[in-house]
Structure 1
Amino acid sequence: MINRRTFSLAALTGLLAAPHVRAAETQDKATAAQPDDDVHTMTEFPAEWQGAEEIVLLGYPGMTALDLVGPQYMFASLWGAKVKVVAKTLDPLPTDTGLTILPDVTFDQAVAAPDVICAPGAVSGTLAAMQDSETIDFLADRGAKARYVTSVCTGSLLLGKAGLVEGYRVTSHWFTRPLMTEFGAIPVDARVVRDRNRITGAGVTAGIDFGLALVGEMRDETYAQSVQLIAEYAPEPPFNAGTPETAPPMVTKMMRDMFAGLPDRIRALARQ
């Protein structure tokens, strides 16, 4: 059965392989014309485009679905990579939007030293996960061994609770970004922030940017551009209200008031 990932990989393969096949067919004919230079450069498959990464996405009840699904889409486009959603159990995970996600493996079954570990965020779901010792212990253990330690949105709070961002520059959702100092991190107002092997994405949709950036890191720019094109990722939001600075002041105030009690809860959890 053809799914989106199969189509994406097949499209990339076809992009590279088709000129090679055509060239091979024409070279068998005495009257074949030689391919031009631009076509000939595509006849060799770049060896660095094939990998064997082990990528672990943390799953927990109440997480924000897009925090996980956005980067998962990008990671699933990496040739040869194994992308797994890991959770305490294999029970279905309800997300904060009502979408249910099925984990692939449990904490005990997850690879010991992943190439990438990624923590998605949420609000109440993240606060609960911060108080779950098994979840935090798992993050701390795998994060200490991972090639890349990453998060999306308030997933950075989980990294902080696991002791993985002290002394690192990080981003988070705009509302919780200043609170990263509670974990010894250095908050940065940017959509994607990299400090050594810590790569963090800002709120929710920034997980797509973060995931695509890491695809470019683990392959190359052309590979990442191909994935972006297949995804037709060319955002043109209908409203310019995606940050506190661009949203109408009334809207920004309303959202800040809605989560007015959240900072104190996070500070309390950080100090436990």
Structure 2
Amino acid sequence: MTSAVQPSRRGVLGAAATGALAVGLSGAGGPAAAASTYRSDRGDRSGLGAGGDQSDRGDRGAGRPVDGNRHRTVAILLYDGFTALDAVGPYEMLCRLPDVRVVTVAHRPGPVRTDTGQLALTAERALADVRHADVLLVPGGGNRGTTATMEDRAILNWVRLLHRRTTWTTSVCTGSLILGSAGLLKGLPATTYWASRPYLAKLGAVWTPGRFVETGRIITAAGVSAGLDMGLHLAARLCDDLTARATQLAVEYDPHPPFDSGSPEKADEATRRLALRLIDDAAVPAA
């Protein structure tokens, strides 16, 4: 990644950027220009979209093992400072699917701390040991974790390597900035955490509204909880709609939050500022 697109160490979540927040809420990048090229949870369910035809994208069973014996692998990247739900939300939607094996991957096997430092998940495999996956999932993280990973040559090279052969390459939250840093989003519609929208343009992507955005075989989800929605969508892609609906029931995912401030368009400025402060204050500072 060149210095021209390098964010500040406190910048990718917009923790101190009123200007970035204003640009993000104005829809920088032009959703109208990308309207025919994205697929969100409220969009086209035909399995086709701009950037890919039937041969490129496949139907909802794309990625299903031909012989019924080979497990399809979902590789979830873990890195110091990732956000827990970004990884665990999709994991819960995918880990019980038939013929699907979810594996966690990091620089080396062992515990990897989240952005708050209060929780660790265990990476089963090292980057060097995972050279192929049917699905790659890159979670987002706090400013420290995201910016460091956007500059991590080993991880970026690994992401590029896996992307060559994936059926689906996906991200949650600021994970799309990592995909962008690997050069995978140039000119493509994508989404990210709401306060990080301006950075997508700096990385060559076109911010597009939606809980998740699918273009070709790349799917990017918006912030944190949007990974649950993307995970269900992937369940349908990897298996079928019936299995995905059953998965939704199995985890009883029937959200009905007590408040209606789950997107920046619905929240007032004071709520937006407090949200960013809560994230920033809970983050483990860089060493």
State the TM-score, normalized to the length of structure 2. Answer: 0.70
Q: Could you tell me how far apart the structure 2 residues matched to 1:101 and 1:155 are?
A: 17
Greater RCO (CA < 8 Å, at least 6 residues apart): 2
Is the contact between residue 75 and residue 105 of structure 2 (CA under 8 Å) also seen in structure 1? yes
Per-residue CA distance 1:190-239 (angstroms, 9 max, x = gap)? 10110010111100000110001010111111110000001110001111
Per-residue CA distance 1:84-134 (angstroms, 9 max, x = gap)? 001101131011232111101001111x23110010001211111112211
Q: Could you tell me how far apart the structure 2 residues matched to 1:198 and 1:143 are?
A: 9
Q: Could you tell me how far apart the structure 2 residues matched to 1:170 and 1:84 are?
A: 25
Point out the structure with max Rg over C-alpha: 1
Is the contact between residue 117 and residue 148 of structure 1 (CA under 8 Å) also seen in structure 2? yes
Q: Could you tell me how far apart the structure 2 residues matched to 1:48 and 1:68 are?
A: 29
Q: Give the C-alpha shift of residue 68 in structure 1.
A: 0.2
- Find 1:211's aligned residue among 211, 231, 251: 231
- Find 2:102's aligned residue among 83, 103, 106: 83
Q: Could you tell me how far apart the structure 2 residues matched to 1:144 and 1:95 are?
A: 28
Q: Give the C-alpha shift of residue 81 in structure 1.
A: 1.1
Structure (1/2) with the larger helix percentage: 1
Residue 141 of structure 1 corresponds to which residue in structure 2? 161
Unaligned runs of 5+ in 1: 1-46, 261-272
Equivalent residue runs for 1:158-173 within 5 Å: 158-173=178-193
Unaligned runs of 5+ in 2: 1-65, 281-287
Residue 18 of structure 1 corresponds to which residue in structure 2? none
Q: Could you tell me how far apart the structure 1 residues matched to 2:208 and 2:145 are?
A: 24
- Find 2:87's aligned residue among 52, 68, 78: 68
Q: Could you tell me how far apart the structure 2 residues matched to 1:226 and 1:259 are?
A: 33
State the TM-score, normalized to the length of structure 1. Answer: 0.74
Letter in 1 for 2:136: I
Q: Could you tell me how far apart the structure 1 residues matched to 2:251 and 2:219 are?
A: 22
Q: Give the C-alpha shift of residue 150 in structure 1.
A: 0.4
Letter in 1 for 2:230: F
Q: Could you tell me how far apart the structure 1 residues matched to 2:173 and 2:220 are?
A: 8
Residue 137 of structure 2 corresponds to which residue in structure 1? 118
Is the contact between residue 51 and residue 79 of structure 1 (CA under 8 Å) also seen in structure 2? no
Q: Give the C-alpha shift of residue 50 in structure 1.
A: 8.1
Letter in 1 for 2:104: V
Moved over 3 A (4+): 47-51, 253-260
Residue 34 of structure 2 corresponds to which residue in structure 1? none
The secondary structure found in structure 2 opposite 1:176 is: helix
Per-residue CA distance 1:38-90 (angstroms, 9 max, x = gap)? xxxxxxxxx99987211110010110010000001111021111110011011
Q: Give the C-alpha shift of residue 255 in structure 1.
A: 4.1
Is the contact between residue 49 and residue 219 of structure 1 (CA under 8 Å) also seen in structure 2? no
Residue 128 of structure 1 corresponds to which residue in structure 2? 148
Residue 208 of structure 2 corresponds to which residue in structure 1? 188
The secondary structure found in structure 1 opposite 2:247 is: helix
Is the contact between residue 156 and residue 172 of structure 1 (CA under 8 Å) also seen in structure 2? yes
Identity of aligned residues (%): 36
Per-residue CA distance 1:138-190 (angstroms, 9 max, x = gap)? 11111222111100000001000111111211110111123211111111121
